[in-house]
Amino acid sequence: MRRKIVAGNWKMNKTLPEGKQLASEVINIVADEGPADVEVIINPPFIHLAPVVQLAAGQDKVKIGAQNCSEYEAGAYTGEVSAAMLRSVGVDYVIIGHSERRQYFGETSEQLAKKINRALEQELQPIFCCGEPLEVREEGAHFDYVCTQLTESLFHLTREQLARVIIAYEPIWAIGTGQTASAQQAQEMHARIRAHLATQYGEEAANKTPILYGGSCKPSNARELFANPDVDGGLIGGASLNARDFVEIVKSFS
Ligand code: 13P
């Protein structure tokens, strides 16, 4: 059976006091109500990470991730945060290649391949994001588009390295728009992603890789999305900013 994962991407939201409050609420509610078989991850902004890791100490149901890391190991890269720094504060996961990073900060597939390497060197688990813009879907080129993203940033990895990667399919037209992919659209893309992984790594490795859905996922639609055989959970933006909504999503596996 594959891992079930729900990760919250807070994006650039919450001051430090607000973020600590939200993290505490999530940790407390998950402790009381969280199903034992779901891996729960919260991804606050960089400067919240060290204090939030402290809040999460002494429990193992909620794990902490970052939203990005540098493609460089260390050195004169003003404003950047390295994978080794993340590891040193006790972070376990890092989101890489979110569409907002690609779109607004010009991150390329080649840079993302390097970020994946940096993360794996530090034993962080990358949550690698892929997903097509609306025009690409309207042209009917979405499967090829997403498979190319995977090929360009992941296919240099060994099978052992791939085993540490989590994939998140986030169609750009569904992010923050309230327009979710239908359960069928999510399932068919996830199945295609898995088939594409199998061409490079074999069926067994592909079958073990968790593939999360992201894009306007909320308590009212999570159950229908997670019920699909190739949807292994979600990467949640807006709804992860409310502890109750986020935990309702965590509880949405049938
Ligand atoms: P929303 O859930 O706000 O649509 O954001 C999804 C997302 O981008 C998570 O990384």
Q: Cα angle vertex 123, ends 228, 209, to 5°?
A: 20
CA–CA separation, 106 vs 124, rounded Å?
23
pLDDT over 70 percentage in the chain = 100
- Is residue 191 within 8 A of residue 206, CB to CB? The reply is no
Query: Does residue 81 contact residue 51 with C-beta atoms inside 8 Å?
Result: no
For residue 178, the model assigns a pLDDT of 86
Rg (C-alpha) for the chain, rounded Å, is 17
Q: Looking at residue 104, which CATH number applies to its domain?
A: 3.20.20.70
Closest atom, ligand 1, to C-alpha of 235: 9
> If pLDDT is split at 50, 70 and 90, which confidence band does 1 have?
confident
Residue 225, Cβ neighbours under 10 Å: how many? Answer: 26
CA of 132 to the centre of ligand 1 (A): 14
How many structural domains are present in the chain? 1
Among residues 39, 170, 190, 196, the one annotated as catalytic is 170
Q: What's the confidence (pLDDT) of residue 93?
A: 98
What is the residue with the minimal CA distance to atom 9 of ligand 1? 237
Q: What is the pLDDT of residues 178-211, one digit of tens each?
A: 889 999 999 999 999 999 999 999 999 999 999 9
pTM of the predicted model, to two decimals? 0.98
Which of 10, 167, 216, 249 should be mutated for ligand 1, with most atoms under 8 A from CB?
Answer: 216
**d(CA 220, ligand 1 centre) in Å:** 15
Over the stretch 86-111, which tens digit does the pLDDT of each residue have? 999 999 999 999 999 999 999 999 99
Q: State residue 212's pLDDT score.
A: 98
From ligand 1's centre to the CA of 171, what distance in Å?
10
Kindly provide the b/e burial profile for residues 96-130, where b requires at least 16 CB atoms within 10 angstroms of the residue's own CB. Answer: bbbbbbbeeeebebebbbbbbbbbbebebbbbbbb
Please report the DSSP string for 165-222 in residue order. Answer: -EEEE--GGGTTTS-PPPHHHHHHHHHHHHHHHHHHH-HHHHHHS-EEEESS--HHHH
- Range 43-64 average pLDDT: 97
Q: Are 55 and 23 in contact (CB under 8 A)?
A: yes
Q: Ligand 1 centre from 234 Cα, in Å?
A: 9
Strand partners for 64? 42
Residue 98 is among the residues annotated as catalytic for this protein: yes
- pLDDT per residue as tens digits for the range 25-42: 999 999 999 999 999 999
Ligand 1 first shell, C-beta below 6 A: 9, 98, 170, 175-176, 214-217, 235-239
**pLDDT > 90 fraction of the chain, expressed in percent and rounded:** 97
pLDDT one-digit tens code per residue, 134-180: 999 999 999 999 999 999 999 999 999 999 999 999 999 999 998 89
Residue located nearest, by CA, to atom 1 of ligand 1: 237
pLDDT of residue 254: 81
What pLDDT is recorded for position 22?
A: 98
Which residue, 161, 142, 175, is CA-closest to 208?
161
Residue among 12, 42, 94, 236 whose CB has most ligand 1 atoms within 8 A, to mutate: 236
- Name the average pLDDT for the chain: 97
Name the helix (H) or strand (E) containing 19.
helix 16-33
The parent domain of residue 146 ranges over 4-253
